[in-house]
Amino acid sequence: MILKLINVLFCTLLIQNGQPEPRIVGGSEVLDRSLFPFQVSLRYNSKHFCGGVILNIDSVLTAAHCAYFLNEERINIAHLLVVVGDLQLSHATAHTRMYSVKSMRIHQNYSLNTLRNDIALIKIHGLFEWNDYVSPINLATKKPITRTTCVISGWGTQHQDRAEITDMLYYANISIIDDSYCKNYIKTYVPYHEGMFCAGQIIGGVDSCKGDSGGPLICNNELTGLISWGIGCAAPKHPGVYMDIAYYHSWIHHDISNASTFALFILLLIVIFPLII
């Protein structure tokens, strides 16, 4: 029951309906894309449904629940595109790049019922081209401190009950919520897990919403959280719940280390094998 409620509020509904519902609640329009070069739009059958964050030359972080339909079936990554460099969903520019997806790795202990470990890593076909509008962001290594002002961004809907499309990327400033309040709030709906924290405003009015899932929460110029779930959007006493990047630091870098080791192995084979024969 809770999962269905949570999913209605975030991006899996967009896949089912096949329509993007873009805008950060209570935010402002991004006028300069170079301020958010790490922001990704994930598109299914060419329609935006989730956000993401550029991790490195061929990888993107997003929410694990973005890999599922409401009926709990996995999406077909053959229909998935990673889009970077543009402000508008419907207007490509000279900086826009689209990449097909090679793989999507879901956290091995992800729970579709509780959204525990709601994190995934996407590998693209090809490599990102770094410029002012497309580049990665450093990862936080410590959990954010209460009352820290942070920034969220995305193309999510302006209101949980609305579905109008707004092409422009939006951002908003929110604050990290006290841990004790956050834990009690989360436990009202699902079991609390250490990889979660809350951010928003207790009085409501500013929040992430449908279509923002998997997008960034930036504190002190570092990726600190991934947009995960919430009950309603920008409702008083109902902050958004985020995945703690510092908590998942080892999981993220384990994947990168494995890929780097494999690449080094292939390189050594290329160099050494001709010498042997």
Question: What single DSSP character describes residue 67?
Answer: G
Cα→Cα distances 80→7, 100, 192, 263, Å: 19, 6, 31, 25
> What stretches of the chain adopt beta strand conformation (E)?
28-29, 39-44, 47-56, 59-62, 80-84, 97-106, 120-124, 149-154, 170-176, 196-200, 216-219, 222-229, 240-244
Question: Active-site residues: which are they?
Answer: 65, 118, 213
**Locus of tokens 């929040």:** 207
Closest by Cα among 115, 101, 138 to 245: 138
Q: How far apart are CA 9 and CA 20, in angstroms?
A: 13
